[in-house]
Amino acid sequence: MATTTLAKAVNAALRAALEDDPKVVLMGEDIGRLGGVFRVTDGLQKDFGDHRVKDTPLAESGIVGTAIGLALRGYRPVVEIQFDGFVFPAYDQIVTQLAKMRARSGGRIALPVVIRIPYGGGIGAVEHHSESPEALFAHVAGLRVVSPSNAADAYTMLRQAVAGDDPVIYLEPKRRYYDKGEVDPAASPHPLHSARVIRLGRDATVLAYGPTVRTALEAAAVAEEEGTSVEVVDLRSVSPVDFDTVEASVRRTGRLVVVHEAPVFFGTGAEIAAHVTERCFDRLEAPVLRVGGFHMPYPPARTEHAYLPDLDRILDAVERVLAY
C-alpha cells in the first residue's frame, strides 16, 4: 500500500494494464513524449514504446474511430480526450458506433474501448476545458459511465474498465488530480458500478460523485459541528446507477441532496431524484434537492467559484430538507 495522488494512481493503473496485456494500447493527443497536459501518462511511452503509447493528431473523431477499428481486431484501446469539451467532435463515433455495436451484432461483437476524459472545473480554465458531460453519455444505452473521486478508486476502477468488454467513459476529476490517498494494488476491488457509503449519518443523505465528493465530505463535517448528522454516498458510477445503495441510505435518513458540477437542468441529479421519489416516497421527509451548475455556458475563470457547488450551497440544501 502506498500514498499517491489520483493522477499517479491513473498512471499506475495504465502501466499495470500495459504490463498485463499486450493487446492494451494507449492513444491520445500529447500523451507520449509530453506525458499528457496533466502528466498523467508520464513515462509510459518511454517504457512501452510508441507502438503501444501513441501520440495522435488533433482529431478526436479519428482517435475514437481508430480505437473502434483496433477493438474490432482484438485490441483493448484506452484513449485520452485531452479536455472534456474536446470530446464532442467524437460524439458521433461514440454514440452511433461504439455504443451500438454489441446490440447491432446481437452480442457477437464487443468493443472494449475505454475513453478517459479529464472533466469538470476548478482549475481556472475556460469553457471547453471545464465541462461536465456525463449526463449526455449516461443517456446513451451501451455505454458505461464512471467517475472515481479518490486515488484508490482511480486505480481499481480503471483496471476494471480496461479489463471489461463494454465501452467505458472514464471521467477523471481534474481538480482532484493532486489529492492524495492510499492505493493498494493487491486489495480486492469494489464492484465497478457500486456506490459506497463513505460517511454514516442519520439526518440526511448527500449523494455526490467525482470532484464533488470531497466537497460533500467537508460539508458533512461542518454540519456535524452544528449538530446535524449527514450521510455521504459516493455514487462512483453514473451509468448504471447503484440505486439499491442509494435507496437504502435514503430509507435510513429520509432526506436526499444530490450534488454534481454539471448543470442541474436535465442532469444526473434529476434522474436520481425522480427514481428515489418513485421508490422511496413513503420514507421521504422532504423533496429531493439538487445542487449543481447553472444552465449556462461555463463561465470565465474568475467567476467559476460562483458556478461550482461549494460547501455553503450544500449546507443550504441540507438545511432546506431538514426544514420540512
Q: What is the DSSP string of 41-75?
A: TTTHHHHH-TTTEEE--S-HHHHHHHHHHHHHTT-
pLDDT greater than 80 at residue 1: no
219 and 98 within one domain: no
CA distances from 63 to 25, 56, 67, 180, 316 (A): 12, 7, 6, 31, 43
237 and 112 within one domain: no
pLDDT 10s digits, 99-154: 999 999 999 999 999 999 999 999 999 889 999 999 999 999 999 999 999 999 99
206 and 163 within one domain: no
Q: For position 251, which CATH number holds?
A: 3.40.50.920
Task: State how many domains the chain has.
Answer: 2
Span 39-53, average pLDDT = 98
Q: Does a structural domain hold residue 189? A: no
Q: Does a structural domain hold residue 25? A: yes
pLDDT greater than 90 at residue 15: yes
258 and 118 within one domain: no
Q: What are the grid coordinates assigned to 53, written together? A: 503509447
Q: Is 289 exposed, middle or buried (0-12, 13-18, 19+ CB in 10 A)?
A: buried
257 and 138 within one domain: no
167 and 270 within one domain: no
Beta carbons within 8 Å of 44's beta carbon, 6+ residues apart = 11, 14, 15, 18, 26, 31, 32, 35, 53
Alpha-carbon distance 322 to 316, whole Å? Answer: 10
Alpha-carbon distance 263 to 266, whole Å? Answer: 8
Domain boundary among 149, 183, 217: 183
pLDDT at 176: 98
Range of the domain at 235: 196-323
Q: Does a structural domain hold residue 160? A: yes
269 and 153 within one domain: no
Q: What is the mean pLDDT of the chain?
A: 97
315 and 262 within one domain: yes
244 and 179 within one domain: no
Q: For position 83, which CATH number holds?
A: 3.40.50.970
Structural contact between residues 216 and 291, judged by C-beta atoms closer than 8 angstroms? no
144 and 15 within one domain: yes
In the chain, pLDDT over 90 holds for what percent of residues? 98
Count of Cβ atoms closer than 10 Å to residue 28 Cβ: 24
Structural contact between residues 147 and 236, judged by C-beta atoms closer than 8 angstroms? yes
116 and 54 within one domain: yes
200 and 76 within one domain: no
Domain boundary among 183, 216, 234: 183
Instruction: Clarify whether 129 is annotated catalytic.
Output: yes
Torsion of CA 128, 150, 45, 34, to 10 degrees: 40
pLDDT greater than 80 at residue 33: yes
Q: Does a structural domain hold residue 137? A: yes
Q: Does a structural domain hold residue 309? A: yes
Q: Does a structural domain hold residue 38? A: yes
Name the catalytic one among 51, 129, 193, 260.
Answer: 129
Q: Does a structural domain hold residue 39? A: yes
Alpha-carbon distance 324 to 313, whole Å? Answer: 18
Q: Between β-strands 53-55 and 24-28, what pairing exists: parallel, antiparallel or unpaired?
A: parallel
Span 275-297, average pLDDT = 97
Q: Does a structural domain hold residue 148? A: yes
pLDDT 10s digits, 70-110: 999 999 999 999 999 999 999 999 999 999 999 999 999 99
Run of H or E residues at 136:
helix 134-138
Beta carbons within 8 Å of 275's beta carbon, 6+ residues apart = 241, 243, 246
pLDDT greater than 80 at residue 167: yes
